[in-house]
Amino acid sequence: MYDAIVIGARASGSTSAMLLARKGYRVLLVDRAKFPSDTVSSHYIHQSGVAYLKRWGMLDPIRQSNCPPIDRMIFDAGPFVLKGSAPAVEGCTHGFAPRRRVLDKILVDGAESAGVEVREAFVVVDLTWENGRVTGVRGISGRKTFTEKAKIVIGADGLRSMVARLVEAPTYNSRETLTCSYYSYWSGLDTEAVELYSRNRRLVVAAPTHDGLTVVTVVWPIQEFERVKNDVEGSFFADVEQFVPQFYERLKAGTQEERFYGTGVLPNFFRKPFGPGWALVGDAGYHRDPFTAQGITNSFQSAEMLASALDNAWSGKLSMESALSGYETKRNRRALPLYQHTLQLASFTPPAPEIQQFLFVIRNNQVETDRFFGVLAGSVDVQDFFSAKNVRKTLGAAGWQFAA
C-alpha cells in the first residue's frame, strides 16, 4: 500500500510526488504517456516558478538542457512600448520557456531520483472506493490490469481531470472560455526576450526555447475559434501580417520547424481540491486562461502547498480535514487576484481610462515598468500595483492633474 498515488506525471504531478517522497512517504506516480513527450503548453516559467525549481534543487538540470534564460520582456501595445525586467524572486532574475518534452522528463527523473515509483504508459480506468472513500486506482499497463491502494489519490491529470469527474469535485468561481490560441516553432527568429504584441483583440507572443528555436503564439477571442481552427495557418499568418507587420517580416525570414499546436478548450474555474481519500493539484484543481502563462508556475506552487498539507496531516500536526482545508484556502488566497487579472486581460476588454493613462506614462518610468512585468513574474502584488494609490501617485509624479 502506498501513502499516495499521483495520477499525471507532468508539472504538478511529478513535483508533488517528488516532494512527498523527499519527506519519506511511499509514492506511486502514473501517467498514460511515456516520457519524453510533448503536451500543449504556454511554455513559460515565471521567476516565481523558477524560484521553486531552485529551492528543490531542480534548476541546474533546466539550465544544463540549454534552455535559454530570459530576463527581459517587451510589451508592444501599439501606441506605446514597455521594455523591462521583472524584479527578482528569491534571487531568481530569469524566466525560462522550455519545451515540455524536456521539462517534464526532467521532473519525472527528479521524482524517480527521490524514490518515487514511476509507471509510464499506465492508463487509470477507475478509482476504487470503500465506504464513500477513495482507496486507490485500477489501471491498465500493457495487457495487464492492476489495482493499487493508497491513503490518498492525487489527481494531477489536468483541466479535464478524470479524478475530479469521478469524485464529482464541486466547481466555483467559474468563467466561460475566453480565448483560443495556436503556436509553432521557428528557427532563424532571434530574440533574447519575451515579446508581446497586443493588437485589435489579438495577442502575439514570442519567446526563445530549446534548440535555438523561438515559440510563437497567437491568441484570439474565443469567438474567432471556428474561423481559426478551419484554417489555422492562414489565420495565423494573415493576422500577424495585418496587425504586427514588422514582426511578420521577421517571422517570414525564419523557418517554421513544426506544425501548429493549440486549442479552444480553455475554461476558467476553481474546483474543491480535496475530499475523502482524494486531492487535486495543478490544473485539475484550478485552471485559468493561459493569457498570462501562469500554468507551470501555479502547478509548482500548488504542488508544494499540497505536499506540505499532507505532511502536516500524516505527521500528526493537523487533522487531514484541517490540513487540506488550509491547502484550499491558501491556494485560493494566492491565486484569486491574478486569476481575476488574467480574466480581465483575456476578455480583451480595454482597461479603465486611468489605467490606460498609467500604462502609457510608465513607459518613461523604468521602476514601474519593471514592476508591471513583476506582476506576471510573481514578484509584485497585482492588487498593489494597480491600486488607486499607486496609479495616482505615478500619474501625479508625471504631471497629471486630478479633479478634487
| Of 263, 297, 330, the domain-final residue | 263
Q: Per the structure block, which three cell numbers stand in for 215? A: 515559440
The list of the chain residues with pLDDT below 70 reads 401-404
User: Is the domain of 11 the same as that of 137?
Assistant: yes
In a domain, 220, yes or no: yes
User: Is the domain of 314 the same as that of 183?
Assistant: no
User: Is the domain of 218 the same as that of 341?
Assistant: no
Within 13 A of 303's CA, how many CA atoms are on the CB side?
32
In a domain, 113, yes or no: yes
In a domain, 77, yes or no: no
In a domain, 374, yes or no: no
In a domain, 223, yes or no: yes
| Of 263, 297, 318, the domain-final residue | 263
User: Whose CA is closest to 346, among 244, 229, 207, 203?
Assistant: 203
User: Is the domain of 337 the same as that of 297?
Assistant: yes
pLDDT at residue number 404: 43
Q: Which residue has the cell 504586427?
A: 244
Between the alpha carbon of residue 330 and those of residues 135, 302, 323, 324, 336, the distances in Å are: 26, 9, 11, 10, 10
- Structural domain that includes position 217: 179-263
Please give the distance of CA 15 from its chain centroid, rounded to a whole number. 14
Given a contact cutoff of 8 angstroms between Cβ atoms, the answer to whether 240 and 200 are in contact is no
User: Is the domain of 170 the same as that of 183?
Assistant: no
pLDDT at residue number 121: 98
User: Is the domain of 250 the same as that of 103?
Assistant: no
Three-state SS letters, 316-334:
CCCCHHHHHHHHHHHHHHH
In a domain, 62, yes or no: no
Q: Residue 148 sits in a domain of what CATH number?
A: 3.50.50.60
Q: Per the structure block, which three cell numbers stand in for 299? A: 502547478
Q: Residue 227 sits in a domain of what CATH number?
A: 3.30.9.100
| Of 243, 263, 283, the domain-final residue | 263
In a domain, 355, yes or no: no
User: Is the domain of 206 the same as that of 290?
Assistant: no
- Expressed in percent and rounded to 5, the helix, strand and coil fractions of the chain are 40, 25, 30
Given a contact cutoff of 8 angstroms between Cβ atoms, the answer to whether 247 and 195 are in contact is yes
User: Is the domain of 234 the same as that of 293?
Assistant: no
User: Is the domain of 118 the same as that of 31?
Assistant: yes
pLDDT at residue number 401: 65
pTM to 2 decimal places: 0.96
User: Is the domain of 132 the same as that of 202?
Assistant: no
User: Is the domain of 272 the same as that of 297?
Assistant: yes
pLDDT at residue number 331: 98
Domain count across the chain:
2
In a domain, 130, yes or no: yes
User: Is the domain of 139 the same as that of 39?
Assistant: yes
